[in-house]
Amino acid sequence: MGCGLEYGSMGPGRAMSATGSASVADVIASLTRKVADFPKPGILFNDLTPLFADGDAMGAVTDALAEIASGADLVAGIDSRGFLVAAAVAARLRTGVLAVRKGGKLPPPVYAEHYDLEYGSATLEIPAGGIELTGRRVVIIDDVLATGGTLAAASRLLERAGADVTGVAVVVELTALGGREAIAPLPVHSLSRV
Ligand code: AMP
């Protein structure tokens, strides 16, 4: 239970409460901590820590994302908050999970993809050995979609490794930042749009 609201799995997109039902989007909104000017001035940071720490909310988010990702045979999570959700979804679907790491965390050999951030640049990596990705149907999961640069880079990385990326799914989509357009034509599924 969190924020005085009770909820649990009640099918796609809905969560049960003691007095009725709340949409998963409402549950996400009620358990998101919005922090102005973090990590840089002008950024409104969506901190999902309270959501992840709430068992019923995490269950509802996992159910909804698992429904979106059904049909995938591998779920990829983005370093680092994406790992939490992707692992939960993979366990629910009984697929494997692949951690898409920030640069420099994995031993060689790796596939690496560089991309631009609002300020500066970053690198994502996956192993180039030990895991066969050719022809695997992969859904990529992250906590928040902002400009889309991170998920677009992750998608390029997996495609280079031979995977068939069928879509991306996020808990929160920040619509004003145009991430969906940056990732097109790859389908983007979001549980809440703010
Ligand atoms: P982007 O590449 O711009 O779509 O940024 C997405 C990545 O940065 C995700 O892994 C998010 O966790 C994080 N991120 C970007 N902007 C925010 C924000 N306003 N609140 C929370 N996380 C964010």
20 found inside a domain: yes
What is the predicted pLDDT for the residue at 12?
43
What is the predicted pLDDT for the residue at 9?
34
78 close to ligand 1 (CB < 6 Angstrom):
yes
How many domains does one find in the chain?
1
Q: What are 101-154's pLDDT values in tens digits?
A: 999 999 999 999 999 886 689 999 999 999 999 999 999 999 999 999 999 999
What atom in ligand 1 is closest to the CA of residue 179? 4
Quickly list H helices, 21-136: 24-30, 49-52, 55-69, 81-93
Biggest distance spanned by C-alpha atoms of the chain: 54
What is the predicted pLDDT for the residue at 25?
98
55 found inside a domain: yes
45 close to ligand 1 (CB < 6 Angstrom):
yes
85 close to ligand 1 (CB < 6 Angstrom):
no
What is the predicted pLDDT for the residue at 177?
95
What is the predicted pLDDT for the residue at 21?
64
Q: What are 42-83's pLDDT values in tens digits?
A: 999 999 999 999 999 999 999 999 999 999 999 999 999 999
Provide the CATH number for the domain around residue 169.
Answer: 3.40.50.2020
CA atoms of 78 and 181, how far apart (whole Å): 19
Domain span at 110: 14-193
6 found inside a domain: no
User: How far, in Å, is the centroid of ligand 1 from the Cα of 106?
Assistant: 22
Nearest CA to ligand 1 atom 9: 144
Mean pLDDT estimate for the chain: 90
Q: Which long-range contacts (CB under 8 A, 24 or more apart) does 60-64 make?
A: 60/7, 60/8, 60/9, 60/15, 60/24, 60/27, 61/24, 61/27, 61/28, 61/85, 61/171, 61/191, 62/88, 62/89, 62/92, 63/9, 63/12, 63/92, 64/12, 64/13, 64/24, 64/191
Q: Is the pLDDT of residue 3 over 50?
A: no
What atom in ligand 1 is closest to the CA of residue 174? 19
CA atoms of 189 and 99, how far apart (whole Å): 20
Confidence class for position 14, pLDDT limits 50, 70, 90: low
109 found inside a domain: yes
What is the predicted pLDDT for the residue at 13?
54
7 found inside a domain: no
Residues β-bridged to residue 170? 142, 190
Which two tokens mark 36?
A: 């102005």
Confidence class for position 20, pLDDT limits 50, 70, 90: very low
